[in-house]
Amino acid sequence: MADKRPASAEEYFILAGLWLLSRLPLSIATGLGGAVAWLMTWLPLRMTSAYRVSLVNIMLCYPELSYQQAARRARQAVTETGRTLAEFAHVWVRPPEQSLARITSVRGMEALRAAYASDRPVLLLTLHQSSWELPNLLLGPEGPMQVFYQKGKSQALTDIVTRARESTGSTLVTADARGIKAAVSAMGRGEAVAILSDHTPKGRNNPIVPLFGYPVRTSNLPHKLIKRYQPHIFFVGCHRKTGPHDIEVYIDPAPADCYSEDESTCLTAINGSLATLISRYPTQYHWVYKRLRYMGSGKQRIYKTDVVPYLRKARREGRGLRLSDLS
């Protein structure tokens, strides 16, 4: 049963801000979101967690970049994240038809529809890139689809987001044992399941798999579904071409190794594909996510303020950052 407790003052503030942003023209709302995020990147590194985390991620994942190049990319990425978060007010509050009208091109829909028409289920692997709410709205009418999501702390906000995401036909399931059971049932019926595959799983029973060359904890759920049901697999994402009214959605067939029965081979191929898709539009990825927090040696402190002296040293020397610098 859903928690029906009264909304807190903080929740009222968030919901009011969401409503106000949704009333503004989209270009103004995303402009404001981007401007606020850009200004935050100029605060001292100890004070601006989003920029510091993005900078560390980009410097580690692209060690060939100098500090100045990485800082420029991180600043652009945080600005794009600000635009994305402001855009969500429109996606979550306004009718879905308005959001779908912003999709100007779709690559790969024919192959996906052929997969839906087959007798095998479909596994959609998505990522936090650009306007990542839109592909779900686009694919909802194509057929039954279970979509995993992380439930937020605010029940009022969760209700709004759930209604929006399910408005075109998909069904949200929580990323827990109950959601996994629903996904397994959907696969058994030959339906589609969508998973945000760049999440860091909580369970320690998940394997360590390379991502951008780093051994990170990776969810084994995709491999379990693939091994048991042999679904058609697609990577789904999007990017802003010229602005918030010009979105391209891509639906890419997964490489052959993703179908491997060997867990390591399968998940390495998935993470490799994610790295390729992220690098395709690097400034539109959600780099504020602490994806490298759990590596082979355990939980890392690379996102704490402890890293600031190392970043300052890299800035003085005009060089990149290596994980060995932080140990």
Q: What is the pLDDT of residue 14?
A: 82
Measured CA to CA, the distance from residue 116 to residue 272 in angstroms comes to 25
pLDDT by residue (tens digit) across 263-318? 999 999 999 999 999 999 999 999 999 999 998 867 888 999 999 999 999 999 98
Measured CA to CA, the distance from residue 65 to residue 84 in angstroms comes to 25
Measured CA to CA, the distance from residue 290 to residue 216 in angstroms comes to 11
Strands 246-253 and 232-243: antiparallel
Reference 127, options 310, 250, 29, 292; nearest CA is: 250
Measured CA to CA, the distance from residue 74 to residue 68 in angstroms comes to 10
The residues that bridge with 233 in the sheet, in sequence order, are 123
pLDDT by residue (tens digit) across 147-188? 999 887 788 889 999 999 999 999 999 988 899 999 999 999
Tell me which amino acid residue 27 is: S
Inter-residue contact 208 to 217 (CB < 8 Å):
yes
Q: Which residues contact 127 (CB under 8 A, 6 or more apart)?
A: 196, 197, 198, 235, 237, 274, 277, 278, 285
The residues that bridge with 216 in the sheet, in sequence order, are 209, 295
* Paired tokens of 216: 């990170």
Q: Can you give 106-125 as a three-state secondary structure string?
A: EECHHHHHHHHHCCCCEEEE
List C-alpha distances in Å: 325 to 279, 295, 320: 24, 16, 10
- Checking if the pLDDT of 248 tops 80, the result is yes
More confident residue, 259 or 202: 259
When computed from its CA atoms, the radius of gyration of the chain, rounded to whole angstroms, is: 20
* Paired tokens of 215: 């051994």
Tell me which amino acid residue 8 is: S
Helix and strand element counts for the chain (H, E): 12, 11
- Checking if the pLDDT of 326 tops 70, the result is yes
Q: What is the pLDDT of residue 324?
A: 83
The mean pLDDT value of the chain amounts to 93
Inter-residue contact 44 to 305 (CB < 8 Å):
no
Q: Name the band, by pLDDT with cuts 50, 70 and 90, for residue 2.
A: very low
Task: Give the Cβ contact number of residue 26 at 10 Å.
Answer: 22
- Checking if the pLDDT of 5 tops 60, the result is no
Measured CA to CA, the distance from residue 252 to residue 7 in angstroms comes to 41
Q: What is the pTM of this model?
A: 0.93
Task: Give the Cβ contact number of residue 280 at 10 Å.
Answer: 14
List C-alpha distances in Å: 121 to 1, 155, 195: 30, 32, 14
Q: What is the pLDDT of residue 106?
A: 98
- What single string gives the DSSP state of each residue in 260-272? -SSHHHHHHHHHH
